[in-house]
Amino acid sequence: MSGLRLDVVSLVPEAFAPLLGLGVIGRAFAAGIAELHTHNPRDHATDRYRKVDDEPYGGGAGMVLKPEPVFAAFEAIPTCPRRRVLLMSPQGRPLRQADLCRWASTYDQLVLLCGHYEGFDERIRSLADEEVSIGDFVLTGGELPAMTIINGVVRLLPGTVGTPASLDEESHSQLLLEHPHYTRPADFRGMAVPEVLRSGDHGAIARWRAKQQQERTRERRPDLHARWLEQQAQD
């Protein structure tokens, strides 16, 4: 195996099938840049009903994902030398672009654990190296966060994107949001492309784009702008 190995532990593995045909991500899987494997804990349940959840100790609403089938599914996954295990959880650390870059460049294998139901048995947390959240909200399961991570990581792998340099200019790649983009026509319904972009002066264009990045970040994401200013002061 030469590509990044992605293993997903999920009760609904069929949810990940569309990724295999999704634009550049699907082409990356087809080309062997990455490979996707899904593992259903229900296949490792030991009772006749393939039960994977139970009532919580102490009472309360909802059902809790049992540890036994999750551990069994996890332990059946082949292990690559450089592996990272990520648990999808609304209690996890917020996902950042830097995380995607780190996982894409450092590891041969990512294992993504998806919870379901009301939650998962606390002991399942012991399997993970990191807990990850995609926002301050709760979903029915960890599948959408896992697909978000898969998409974000695979697009960073060498060979996925046709113009790798474009990845360096994206929003969040250097904390700042991306500058505005324009294409033809030069004037559309009274909205004109900034003159500097049509000037042919590459130095002026670069300065305009840098200024737009700073202004847009300050207006839309003051938290990121503050972090960027702090980074600039340290440099």
What does the DSSP assignment read for 177-215?
A: PPPP---S-SEETTEEPPGGGGS--HHHHHHHHHHHHHH
Residues 34 and 131 in one domain: yes
Cβ-based burial of 21 (10 A; exposed 0-12, middle 13-18, buried ≥19)? exposed
Same domain for 179 and 148, yes or no, is no
User: Given this model, what pLDDT does residue 121 score?
Assistant: 96
Q: 104 and 175 in one domain?
A: no
- Are residues 77 and 182 part of one domain? no
> Of 154, 179, 209, which closes a domain?
154
Angle at 91 between CA 17 and CA 51, to 5 degrees: 55
pLDDT of residue 1: 47
Q: Tokens at residue 215, please?
A: 């202004």
Say how many domains are in the chain: 2
Predicted TM-score (pTM) of this structure: 0.88
159 within domain boundaries = no
pLDDT at 170: 55
Residues in the chain predicted with pLDDT less than 70, given as ranges, are: 1, 162-173
What DSSP state is assigned to residue 235? -
Instruction: List b or e across 158-172, with b for residues whose CB sees 16 or more CB atoms inside 10 angstroms.
Output: eebeeeeeeeeeebb
**CA–CA gap between residue 109 and residue 5 (Å, rounded):** 5
The pLDDT score that the predictor gives to residue 203 is 97
Domain assignment of residue 99, given as a range:
4-154
Taking a C-beta distance cutoff of 8 angstroms, is the pair 87, 131 a contact? yes
- 150 in a structural domain: yes
Q: What distance in Å separates the CA atoms of residue 142 and residue 111, rounded to the nearest whole number?
A: 13
Question: Is residue 30 assigned to a domain?
Answer: yes
In a domain, 163, yes or no: no
pLDDT at 171: 55
Q: Which of 96, 130, 154 is the last residue of a domain?
A: 154
